[in-house]
Amino acid sequence: MTTKEKVKRVREGRELDPKELVRQIGVMNVLAISGGRTAAILDGENYVIGLQLPCGANRQVEITLNFWDTYTVRRYRTIVKGEQRGEDILEFEQDMVYCDEIAEVAYRASIWR
C-alpha cells in the first residue's frame, strides 16, 4: 500500500533479535537498502521490536515484528523544511509480511522513485 499522509510513528510489536532480522532480510539487501546502516527500534519498555534502515533523502524503512509473528514494513519521509518541519509522512506500508517475503518487501519499500 502506498500512501502520503502525516502520521505519528507506530512503536508497538513483539521483541525480536535484530541480528536474526538482518539475516532474514539478507546482508546484501541491507547493503542495497541502507549501505549497511541499521538502528534498533525500541518500544516504551526498551525492548527491541524492529529495525530501521535509513535509505537517503530523509527516508527510513522500518520493519517491526507484529504479535502474529509477521512483519510490518513502513517507509517514512521526514519533512526538514517549512512549517511542518519534523513531521513524518507515511509513504509505504505493508502488513502481514512473512519471514520468507521480508527481503523482497523491504527492498521494494526502499525504492520511492
Report in angstroms the alpha-carbon separations of 97 from 15, 21, 65, 69. Answer: 16, 13, 9, 9
Orientation of helix 102-110 relative to helix 18-25, angle to 10°: 80
pTM of the model: 0.89
Q: Quote the cell numbers at residue 88.
A: 513524518
Phi-psi region of 20 (alpha: psi -120 to 50; beta: other; left: phi over 0): alpha
Domain boundaries, the chain: 2-110
List the chain pLDDT tens, one digit each, 113 residues.
566 767 778 788 999 999 999 999 999 999 999 999 999 999 988 999 999 999 988 999 999 999 999 999 999 999 888 888 888 999 999 999 999 999 999 999 999 87
